Every structure is written in structure tokens, then in C-alpha cells.
Amino acid sequence: MSISATAKPLEGKLLFPFIAPPNGGKGTQTQILSQRYQMPTFDMGAAFRAIMKEGKDPQMKAELESFMSNGKLVPIETVVKVFKKNFEELAVQNPQAKGFILDGFPRNQEQANALSQLCTEWGTELSKVIYLNVSMEVVKSRATGRRFCSQNARHVYNIHDSRLAPKQAKRETDGSGVVTDAQGREIWICNIDGADLIIRPDDEPQTVEKRLTEYSRETDPLIAYFREQGQLTEINGEQAPDQVTQQIEIEIQPLLTLSPAP
């Protein structure tokens, strides 16, 4: 499905890209705001993971795997192709939405330029770029604690943070103790559906290091660019999650109120 010249489902819609380091709280915040304001989220990393899981395009699957498992950014051609197709579909499926959240796109200057061109084509523009500023030390500690539900990746936990920790570790059926993985780490279970929680391959310590290096190299200049353009809204991402949400809401609420009803 692609947008025809006559139907422009993105015309006049608000677009809110979110930028944060890996484990910067982007997923948590975009999930809350998406529900609260009925703004669908496009999540670039999730779109890639869905393509790999589906396995319909073995060539693209192999390409994505090779970049993602090394914490590297996927090449621009693939990023733009996947973004355009999936995001346009999301817009067509959600004609009532006032705006959309972009989680993990753009991640560098080249992607920002591509997005800017697409916005011109769609008749829209970036509303505010939300940047969650979190130090590298905090990000590393969060990474080693992050766990995802194996049934629903939107159920996210952190075993190092009492506010986000799962309630129960998995126990042996004979009651002999907690179940551990191959590295001796305790396996936890989801508070919502009881499924096992898993560690995403890109949260493994070596990959985290690589992703942070990539983030500094690719995304730091993008943050500087949006700041210079006056488009950046910087939020202290080290605060409690509800405080972070409140501050983002202060920034986006006026725009959502003023935007014309669909």
C-alpha cells in the first residue's frame, strides 16, 4: 500500500520523533503517550524485528541480522524503504489520529534529510523532536536489567529498578529454586501474562557497548543539528518515568489541542 497523489493521510498530521540513547526510556514513554493521546507509534527497531521474525525476505532478514547483532545502524536504503512502507500503512489504518510518534527514526543526519523529503511529499512537518537525555552510566546499568516479555514485547521490565521490576522469578516445577539461563542469570516472568521474560540480543553487554559507540558517532551530531534548528525539546530522562511523561506532555499538549480535528 502506498499513498496516492489524491489521498494524503498524513497531510497536516503532527509528527513527534523521539531520540534517546539505547535504554534511554524511549519505549516506555512512547507507549504511555501513544495510549494517552491515541497517537500510533512507528517503532523502527520493532519493524525490523518483525521482518526478521516473518522471514519472507531472506535477503533483507540476513542484512538486518548482520547490522543489528553488531549494534550498527542498518543502511539508509533499507531504513527508508521499511519506514516509508510501514509508516504510510500506519497512517492509512489510523485516519482519526491527530499525530504519530516516531520511535528510533531518524537516527542520523542522512535519515533526517530523508524524512524531511518525505514530509514535503506528505504535506506534513516535524512538530517537536523529543530528546531524552540520559548519561552513559545510567544507560549501561539499565541495559543489563532490561527484560522483555516473550509473548508481547511491549511488556518491558527492568530488574535493577524497583519501579519497573517484574514481581516473580521463574521457579522450577519441583519447587527446587529459581530457573536460570545459560549464563546463570535468573529468568523472570511477565506480570501481565505470566510468559518468560527474555534478554534481547542487543542488550547483551558487548552489543550495548557497540550501540553506545554508534549512538555517539551517528546520533550526537543529529541532536546538535535539531538543537541548532530550534526543533529540539530536551527532557531529563534520568527522572522518574512519570516525571519524564509529565514534562513531555507539557510540550506536546498545546500542539495536540491546537491541531485541527481530523
Site string for ligand AMP, 227-256 (x = CB under 6 A): ------------------------------
Start-end of H helices in 8-108: 26-36, 44-54, 58-68, 76-93
Q: Would you count residue 219 as binding ligand AMP (CB under 6 A)?
A: no
Residue whose Cβ sits closest to ligand AMP: 45
Given the rule CB under 6 A, which of 42-50, 164-172, 181-189, 238-246 is the region that contacts ligand AMP?
Answer: 42-50
Q: List the one residue from 18, 48, 122, 131 that touches ligand AMP (CB under 6 A).
A: 48
Q: List the one residue from 14, 33, 79, 129 that touches ligand AMP (CB under 6 A).
A: 79
Which residues lie below 8 Å from residue 23, measured CB to CB, with a gap of 6+? 134, 139, 140, 142, 143, 146, 203, 208
Spatial contact of 93 and 42, defined as CB atoms under 8 Å apart? no
- Give 53 or 167: the residue with its C-beta nearer to ligand AMP: 53
Site string for ligand AMP, 5-24 (x = CB under 6 A): -----------------x--
Q: How far apart are CA 66 and CA 201, in angstroms?
A: 12
Long-range contacts of 215-218 (CB under 8 A, 24+ apart): 215/21, 215/22, 218/73, 218/107, 218/108
Enter the C-alpha cell of residue 149. 516479555
- Give 98 or 126: the residue with its C-beta nearer to ligand AMP: 126
Q: How many helices (H) and strands (E) does the chain have?
A: 8, 11
**The residue to which cell 518491558 is assigned:** 156
102-121 positions binding ligand AMP, by CB under 6 A: 104-105, 107, 111
Q: Would you count residue 73 as binding ligand AMP (CB under 6 A)?
A: yes
**The residue to which cell 511491549 is assigned:** 154
Given the rule CB under 6 A, which of 63-71, 119-127, 132-140, 230-238 is the region that contacts ligand AMP?
Answer: 63-71
Spatial contact of 27 and 103, defined as CB atoms under 8 Å apart? yes
- Give 127 or 207: the residue with its C-beta nearer to ligand AMP: 207
Q: Would you count residue 225 as binding ligand AMP (CB under 6 A)?
A: no
Q: Would you count residue 45 as binding ligand AMP (CB under 6 A)?
A: yes
Among 132, 191, 182, CA closest to 158: 191
Residues forming contacts to ligand AMP in the complex (CB under 6 A) are: 22, 44-45, 48, 67-68, 71-74, 79, 104-105, 107, 111, 202, 211
